[in-house]
A and B are shown apart, each in its own frame.
Chain A
Amino acid sequence: MDWNSGTVTMAHGSGGSATEELIHGIFAEAFGNDTLNRMEDAAVVSYDALVAGRECGEHRGNNVIPDQGSGSCGRLALTTDSFVVTPLEFRGGDIGRLAVCGTVNDLLMRGAVPKLLTCGWIIEEGTKLSLLKRVAESMAETAKEAGIQIVAGDTKVIEGKSGGVYINTTGIGHVPAGVDIAAGNAEEGDVILVSGTMGNHHAAILSERMSIENDIKSDVAPLVEMVSKLRGLPVHTLRDVTRGGLATVCKELALASKKTFLIRDHLIPVDMQVRDFCGLLGLDPLYMGNEGKLVCIAKREGAEEVLAAMKASGYGEKAAIIGEVTVEKPGALFVETEIGGRREADVLQGEGLPRIC
């Protein structure tokens, strides 16, 4: 990247390799510290690190009785996300629901219980008040569903002609003692699961933008119930499958764990309409974003239980086991195709643009 004369292009926002370059080259470079450098969905820090001299456990007079079990009082999870989707309202959701789910799901992916949320709104002049009201109500409803409270907020109005609304949300959660869910935790022999069909959100948004009539709905949803049902089961890693899609996420997890991820194309759930839509535009569902799906890496013994827990949760009925973790080639992602072929896959490159013919 040409840091002196280059400019930002849309590819830098795709969630693929260009985004990573931007983050590493500018932001990690400027802000780098032990917590940030882990590049997880949410930062997890001990409460001790926040409050000097604070000790975990129950305070009785001058004495502290340590927590039972791990002897720790858990940790704090913190994350932030900004939402710039067009159109603001789409089949299956709107920017308000999205702004809650995105941040809540990022907290959940570290095993945290989401607690508090803040929201910052940047509103273009000309935005209809009735629309703002609908989005705020949807946001409140989603927060209620996710069991998180919106406790602070900010609004700014800027000039503009298209009536755009941009929302940032920041979330705080609590990681219970003994929970260790992180991107690098996959082990040899682990099983790879997804919580449902791939590509619905991306396909729904593209359909809206292209005025294509179909029944594809966004899958935007908070995965609180699912993650709570997974508690106590042998789960090593959780990651929500957003920008960049399943292949990008799996490749990142393979790199973080220095293991090999093998996924089987024909086991990956994709709705027929989404598959046809992708076929038409030359898009690959493996690289399409979702807003209410997760990848789970679980110990093989117990994987069936994990699958059952997912299927029994809201938004998880089409969950499936799609592959496994090996040590064949550290950091690699392989895709086995239905016909029996095999290819190595990478993170999303470029913007994931529809092809020309």
Chain B
Amino acid sequence: MDIEKIKQELKHYDGPEMNIMEVCGSHTEAVAKYGIPSLLSPKLHLLSGPGCPVCVTASSYIDRLIALSLEKNTCVVTFGDLIRVPGSRKSLSEAKGEGARVEMVYSPLDLLSLAQKEPETLFVFAAVGFETTTPVYAVLLEEIIERHVENIKLLTSIKTMPEVIDHLMANGAPIDAFLAPGHVSVVTGSRVYEKPALKYGIPFAVSGFKAEELLAALYGIVLHRGQGVVKNYYPSVVTENGNEKAKKAVEKYFQTSDAVWRGMGKVAGSGKLLREEYRKFDAGSEGLEKDEKLNPACRCDEVLMGKRKPGQCPLFGKVCSPAHPQGACMVSSEGSCFSYFVNKRKD
């Protein structure tokens, strides 16, 4: 069907109201960037779920990074947006202003040259991410071992998508369909959504990141409302079984564990930790379960679960803004609250 026809169908949809959740931060960003909500019928609601990796790190994880960054001869290395995520009291960015050593890299492999230049410094990499990023950490470990690098450790906060999707549905999140994450699905394959689709009788549509791809997937969701099916609208890169090589690399270094998602608590089997035999590369990731809010009124948890829109949080746009985030969702450009704030979304 051509895109104009799809746009018409979505704009004039008049069936039962539908809550469609995207669980990929890049989708949240793209939805806002292309103005997708303005193209949908008022009966179709987009919810932004726990798809932004930095948004779901427990506060104790950030606190541990800050503590490490203040230790002598230690440097914490992160990706861009993690640096501003608040822990229980402050963020890495603020700690840096107070003398902590924090460096940003764009690829974990940049870490190797940093470590080589300063052999007396311990570099702790903040390994945060979902299925998409974990294989990169496996490659990094491979390099560390091969090159006998002694001064790199990982502090991991690695999470997996299918388990948290099940958690959301089992805990009463008001969701009628999922826009399944494109990048994650490249690794996992689309088949992982079959179980939750059948169990909860709702459609999953794997989508790419272009405006047309998003609209096609949303239209697919509308067409399959109430059906427990998985539809792949991103077949150019997503297969049924995913990337076996990447999955094997992850399997070699990491084992499944429980994980604490910010505001949502512990979700069984939704995380990864380094395997026993590689634990010497770990900077203390186990047991970081404490999760305190910087501001007790923050409703990030309910926002992540689709139970509340960002604008319905009492802090939103008042004390909580991207310049002064009270919760992690307001930090990253992929965070739900950030997306609603900067695009002044009212949907």
Residues of A within 8 A of B (CB): 1, 6-11, 17-18, 21, 210, 281-282, 284, 332, 335-346, 349-351, 353-357
Say yes or no: B323 contacts A17, CB within 8 Å.
Answer: yes
Q: A9 to B96, alpha carbons, bound, how many Å?
A: 8
Distance between A24 CB and nearest chain B CB, rounded to angstroms: 12
- 12 additional A-B residue pairs with CB within 8 Å, beyond A282-B334, A356-B332: A338-B211, A342-B35, A343-B34, A343-B345, A349-B323, A350-B331, A353-B81, A353-B83, A355-B79, A355-B80, A355-B332, A356-B129
Picked from A336, A343, A350, A355, the residue with its CB within 8 Å of the CB of B322 is A350
Q: A122 to B94, alpha carbons, bound, how many Å?
A: 27
Residues of B within 8 A of A (CB): 3, 7, 25-26, 29, 32-39, 53-54, 79-84, 93-94, 96-98, 104, 106-107, 110, 128-130, 132-133, 183, 211-212, 215, 321-324, 331-334, 338, 341-345
Q: Which residue of A lies closest to B7 (CB)?
A: A340
Q: A63 to B3, alpha carbons, bound, how many Å?
A: 74
Main secondary structure of the interface of A (DSSP, over half): loop
Main secondary structure of the interface of B (DSSP, over half): helix
Say yes or no: B322 contacts A17, CB within 8 Å.
Answer: yes
Q: List the A side residues contacting B322 at CB < 8 Å.
A: 17, 349-350
Say yes or no: B211 contacts A341, CB within 8 Å.
Answer: yes
Say yes or no: A7 contacts B84, CB within 8 Å.
Answer: no
Picked from B110, B212, B338, the residue with its CB within 8 Å of the CB of A349 is B338
Say yes or no: A350 contacts B39, CB within 8 Å.
Answer: no
Say yes or no: B84 contacts A341, CB within 8 Å.
Answer: no
Q: List the A side residues contacting B35 at CB < 8 Å.
A: 335-337, 339, 341-343
Say yes or no: B343 contacts A345, CB within 8 Å.
Answer: yes
Picked from B25, B34, B53, B343, the residue with its CB within 8 Å of the CB of A344 is B343
Say yes or no: B84 contacts A11, CB within 8 Å.
Answer: yes
Distance between A85 CB and nearest chain B CB, rounded to angstroms: 17
Q: List the B side residues contacting A346 at CB < 8 Å.
A: 341-344
Picked from B3, B38, B128, B342, the residue with its CB within 8 Å of the CB of A356 is B128
Instruction: Please judge, given known A-B contacts A281-B106, A353-B81, A355-B80, whether A337 and B211 are in contact too, CB under 8 Å.
Output: yes
Q: A1 to B332, alpha carbons, bound, how many Å?
A: 19
Distance between B322 CB and nearest chain A CB, rounded to angstroms: 4
Q: A351 to B322, alpha carbons, bound, how many Å?
A: 10
Q: A235 to B98, alpha carbons, bound, how many Å?
A: 47
Say yes or no: B84 contacts A350, CB within 8 Å.
Answer: yes
Q: A259 to B110, alpha carbons, bound, how many Å?
A: 46
Say yes or no: A341 contacts B38, CB within 8 Å.
Answer: yes
Say yes or no: B183 contacts A357, CB within 8 Å.
Answer: yes
Q: Which residue of A lies closest to B40 (CB)?
A: A341
Distance between B57 CB and nearest chain A CB, rounded to angstroms: 11
Say yes or no: B133 contacts A341, CB within 8 Å.
Answer: no
Q: List the A side residues contacting B83 at CB < 8 Å.
A: 353
Q: List the B side residues contacting A332 at CB < 8 Å.
A: 344
Q: A337 to B3, alpha carbons, bound, how many Å?
A: 15
Picked from A7, A11, A340, A357, the residue with its CB within 8 Å of the CB of B98 is A7
Instruction: Please judge, given known A-B contacts A21-B323, A282-B29, A341-B38, whether A9 and B81 are in contact too, CB under 8 Å.
Output: no
For the complex of A and B, the 9 pairs showing the least CB-CB separation, nearest first, are: A341-B35, A353-B80, A7-B97, A349-B322, A339-B211, A344-B344, A343-B35, A356-B79, A342-B35
Q: A1 to B34, alpha carbons, bound, how many Å?
A: 32
Distance between A342 CB and nearest chain B CB, rounded to angstroms: 5
Instruction: Please judge, given known A-B contacts A282-B29, A354-B80, A356-B79, whether A342 and B97 are in contact too, CB under 8 Å.
Output: no
Instruction: Please judge, given known A-B contacts A9-B97, A353-B104, A357-B129, whether A339 and B81 are in contact too, CB under 8 Å.
Output: no
Q: List the B side residues contacting A337 at CB < 8 Å.
A: 33-35, 211
Picked from A7, A10, A282, A336, the residue with its CB within 8 Å of the CB of B333 is A282
Q: A337 to B345, alpha carbons, bound, how many Å?
A: 15
Say yes or no: A11 contacts B129, CB within 8 Å.
Answer: no
User: Can you offer 29 A-B residue contacts whose CB atoms are under 8 A?
Assistant: A7-B94, A8-B97, A9-B93, A9-B94, A9-B97, A10-B93, A11-B323, A17-B322, A337-B33, A337-B211, A339-B35, A341-B35, A341-B36, A346-B341, A346-B342, A346-B343, A349-B321, A349-B338, A350-B331, A350-B333, A353-B333, A355-B79, A355-B80, A355-B333, A356-B25, A357-B26, A357-B53, A357-B129, A357-B130
